[in-house]
Amino acid sequence: MTIIKHELRQNRTAFAVWTASIAFLLIVCVFLFPDVKGEMDSVGNLFASMGSFTAAFGMDRLNIGTLIGYYSIECGNILGLGGALFASLLGISALAKEEKDRTAEFLLTHPVSRKRVITEKLAAVLLQITVMNLLILILSLLSVALIGEDIPSRELLLIHGAYFLLQLELACICFGISAFLRRGGAGIGMGLAAAAYFLNLVANISESARFLHWLTPFAYCEGADIITGGKLDGSRIAVGMTLAIIGIITAFRHYIRKDIR
């Protein structure tokens, strides 16, 4: 528990800033909905007729004039990108930062096994992601209630759940990469998150690139699919969680034997 506590304390500022930023943008977005709704007649048609841009964000299948359609596109993008970046950064720095900041020599010359270090660091990452998502979900539900809209709880929970799984997947993959790094990997983490995001956009636009959906966790967060289907895509999630588990196993296998320089 010592290492978990220490990790949380070390990360508390970053955690607070990311959580507050994502929550703030999300709330602002929700508060804009009443205005958007009023102008929907003109705007909705415009958004629905921008060709591949429309398809990229799933606006061909969603009505941006309804709260859930609007929420899944606008808020989904904020939560998706923000959450993905935060989760990737958490994962990629978890193990690598010890060598980058030369604190590995301090930590690993105490009587703690490498296995314990990895376990507690992973737990700290997952805990932060979980708490952040819970906080954001609560604030989001509150803000929807505040603008006087009915809360489409099932769809909303499914969307938030999907993004939570996306963050877990990216964090675990980055955690696995982190075990190999000796310097900070912020660039790798952010690059991975951004690549996953844009892969999904590309896959949405072109029929021939559709297979890319299997490579990016954003595919199972697609609001249009979730809302029209009323459920999450189990097989895509299974692929994603398999990648996450591979990331975790890789981290253990490599870091336990790693030479710390």
Partner 1 sequence: MNEKAIQTRNLTKYYGKTRGIDQIDLTVPWGDFFGFIGPNGAGKSTTIRTLLGLIRPTGGEAKIFGLDIINDRERILSRVGYLPSETSFYPGMRVRDVLKLSAELRGRSFRRGRQQQPRSSHDVTAPPPYRNDRRETLHPHEHDCAEAAHILCERLQLDPARKVDELSLGNKKKVSIVCALQHDPDLLILDEPTSGLDPLMQREFFEILRERSANGATIFLSSHILSEIQHNCAHAAMIRDGRIIASGSVEDLSRTGARRVNIRGQMDYGALSGVKNLHVSPDGADFLYSGDMQVLLAVMANGTIQDVSITEPDLEEVFLHYYDGRPE
Q: Return the number of the residue (109 or 208) whose C-beta is nearest partner 1.
A: 109
Q: 225 Cβ partners below 8 Å, 6+ apart?
A: 58, 233
Note whether 158 and 233 are within 8 A (CB).
Answer: no
- The count of chain residues that interact with partner 1, using the rule CB under 8 A, is 21
Chain-centre distance for alpha carbon 163: 5
From 3, 56, 201, 239, residue interacting with partner 1 (rule: CB under 8 A): 3
Nearest CA to 14 among 107, 80, 94, 69?
A: 94
Q: Return the number of the residue (207 or 259) whose C-beta is nearest partner 1.
A: 259
Q: How far is the CB of 147 from partner 1 (least distance, A)?
A: 39
Taking residues 160 to 189 in sequence order and writing x for each that binds partner 1 by CB under 8 A, - otherwise, the string is: ------------------------------
From 101, 153, 246, 253, residue interacting with partner 1 (rule: CB under 8 A): 101
Only one of the segments 68-76, 101-109, 133-141, 162-170 lies at the binding site for partner 1 (rule: CB under 8 A); that segment is: 101-109
Q: Is 17 a binder of partner 1 (CB under 8 A)?
A: no
Nearest CA to 113 among 245, 11, 259, 255?
A: 255
Q: Return the number of the residue (53 or 106) whose C-beta is nearest partner 1.
A: 106
Q: Can you tell me which residue has the tokens 């061909």?
A: 60
Nearest CA to 227 among 156, 170, 176?
A: 156
From 42, 109, 208, 235, residue interacting with partner 1 (rule: CB under 8 A): 109
By the 10 Å C-beta count (0-12 exposed, 13-18 middle, 19+ buried), 168 is classed as: buried
Q: What is the binding site for partner 1 (CB under 8 A)?
A: 2-3, 6, 10, 101-113, 257, 259-261
